[in-house]
């Protein structure tokens, strides 16, 4: 799979009324069938809209398991650490010192040894509340990782409500990241969400690029408790978009907040988002071209391509198909041209629920894991293997060879659902 070409949309000529609609909205993934084998869920509730795959699917593990049962940034050094008790095999994640994103030591070799090395990680988003639910989810993550192993955590944006952090010394670093995850000594690989680029006037639109850059800076200036040394942190966001490799898996962290505004430029008010997205597109296409054909490719960001949450599907966000930008059409266009068929899985948040969508985009699977600290309702009717909007939680994912096992856990310590995604079959 290789990237297809992309024609940049003509910049929207904003009118005062339509611009106001865009900026004051709370801005924050058609389709085929993905090859999923063995998705078992005894907790699915028809009233929640949950559905199950065919009865012929096999069970990879126990149902209902309890956790208690057994573009700014600089520097080319290593970011993150494997010096902890939780089994991290994090590779280097240095920055290229430019606006085109970051890379860490290539894309893996794809050799037999690499293909059989397990890669295990947590995926969750919309965590930045500092509330009780965030701490409860973190406690279950700690137990699951101790029992099953984890190498790192992926954060899917909206890391700090409501408008991001003001600096690398903002008190929210402590109250909404360091303290809730103090017992999880693993690298955290974040994406930026719309609330990470907010301001007091426009709220959490994502249009304030400089505000999001503060989270990049914390990678180099922050300090997490031991075993992370002075001047380092488990927070690993080397650039607004970046790549990291683990065994036979290539990961691509996307900045969907910039993609959301692709083509927008208001002199003296906004950056030229068209230029920013051109850089991200070129970077992603080059990274995908360099990835061995035998590797898994997983992209992650904040905004969904498909979702049953209130935000909905890209191109139809908020039920506003005719409102430029607010409808997410730029997200849909970017994904149709650059992501669909080029990665195996896209992980996102934005909607505060947990979803494994059935439909794919040229073989690319979609999962929403935005319930890291709060939940919102299920409103859409995309077919799913699993979905839940009642309880906060996360996804635990393991990849060995061509097999991906996905477990959905909630804050009570229950595993609600387990399924297998098989690559190349």
Q: CA-CA distance, 339 to 332, in Å (whole number)?
A: 10
Domains of the chain as residue ranges with CATH: 36-422 (3.60.21.10)
Q: CA-CA distance, 398 to 120, in Å (whole number)?
A: 4
Task: List all residues 6 or more positions away from 32 whose beta carbon is below 8 Å from its beta carbon.
Answer: 359, 360, 361, 362, 363
State phi, psi for 85 to the nearest 5 degrees.
-95, 10
What pLDDT score was predicted for residue 101?
57
Whether pLDDT at 359 is above 90 = yes
Structure confidence at residue 269 as a pLDDT band (50, 70, 90): confident
| Average of per-residue pLDDT across 111-118 | 77
Structure confidence at residue 36 as a pLDDT band (50, 70, 90): low
Q: Measure the CA angle with vertex 194, ends 100 and 169; round to 5°.
A: 80
**Cβ–Cβ under 8 Å, residues 223 and 182:** no
In the chain, what is the straight-line distance between the N-terminal and C-terminal CA atoms, in Å? 15
State phi, psi for 115 to the nearest 5 degrees.
-65, -25
**Tokens of residue 409, six digits:** 């856990």
In the sheet that 393-400 helps form, which strands lie side by side, from edge to edge? 36-40, 415-422, 403-410, 393-400, 119-124, 152-155, 188-190
State phi, psi for 218 to the nearest 5 degrees.
-65, -25
| Average of per-residue pLDDT across 164-186 | 96
Structure confidence at residue 80 as a pLDDT band (50, 70, 90): very low
Structure confidence at residue 393 as a pLDDT band (50, 70, 90): very high
What pLDDT score was predicted for residue 63?
42
| Most confident segment among 12-16, 70-74, 159-163 | 159-163
pTM: 0.80
Task: List all residues 6 or more positions away from 15 whose beta carbon is below 8 Å from its beta carbon.
Answer: none
């Amino acid at each position: 799979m290789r990237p297809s070409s992309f024609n940049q949309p003509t910049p929207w000529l904003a009118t005062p009324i339509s611009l106001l609609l865009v900026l004051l909205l709370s801005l924050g993934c058609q389709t085929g069938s993905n090859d999923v084998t063995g998705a078992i869920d005894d907790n699915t509730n028809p009233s929640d809209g949950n559905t199950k795959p065919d009865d012929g699917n096999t069970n990879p593990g126990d149902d209902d398991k309890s956790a208690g049962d057994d573009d700014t940034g600089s520097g080319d050094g290593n970011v993150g650490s494997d010096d902890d008790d939780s089994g991290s095999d994090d590779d280097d994640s240095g920055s290229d010192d430019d606006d085109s994103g970051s890379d860490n030591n290539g894309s893996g070799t794809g050799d037999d040894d690499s293909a059989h090395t397990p890669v295990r990680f947590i995926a969750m988003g919309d965590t930045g509340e500092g509330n009780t639910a965030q701490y409860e989810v973190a406690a279950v993550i700690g137990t699951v990782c101790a029992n099953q192993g984890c190498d790192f955590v992926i954060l899917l944006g909206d890391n700090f409500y409501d408008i991001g952090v003001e600096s690398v010394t903002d008190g929210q670093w402590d109250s909404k990241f360091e303290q809730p995850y103090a017992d999880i000594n693993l690298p955290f690989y974040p994406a930026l969400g719309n609330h990470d680029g907010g301001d007091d006037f426009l709220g959490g639109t994502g249009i304030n690029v400089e505000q999001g850059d503060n989270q990049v800076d914390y990678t180099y200036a922050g300090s997490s408790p031991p075993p992370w040394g002075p001047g380092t942190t488990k927070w690993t966001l080397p650039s607004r978009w970046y790549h990291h490799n683990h065994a036979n898996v290539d990961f691509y962290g996307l900045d969907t907040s910039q993609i959301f505004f692709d083509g927008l430029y208001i002199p003296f008010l906004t950056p030229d988002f068209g230029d920013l997205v051109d850089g991200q597109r070129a970077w992603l296409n080059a990274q995908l071209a360099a990835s061995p054909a035998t590797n898994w490719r997983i992209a992650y960001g904040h905004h969904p391509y498909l979702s049953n949450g209130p935000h909905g599907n890209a191109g139809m966000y908020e039920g506003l198909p005719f409102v430029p930008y607010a409808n997410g059409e730029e997200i849909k266009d970017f994904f149709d041209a650059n992501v669909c068929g080029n990665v195996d899985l896209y992980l996102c948040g934005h909607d505060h629920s947990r979803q494994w969508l059935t439909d794919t985009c040229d073989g690319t699977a979609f999962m929403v894991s935005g319930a890291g600290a709060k939940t919102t309702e299920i409103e859409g009717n995309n077919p799913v293997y699993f979905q839940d909007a009642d309880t906060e939680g996360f996804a635990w994912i393991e990849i060995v060879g061509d097999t991906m096992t996905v477990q959905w856990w909630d804050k009570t310590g229950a595993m609600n659902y387990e399924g297998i995604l098989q690559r190349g079959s």
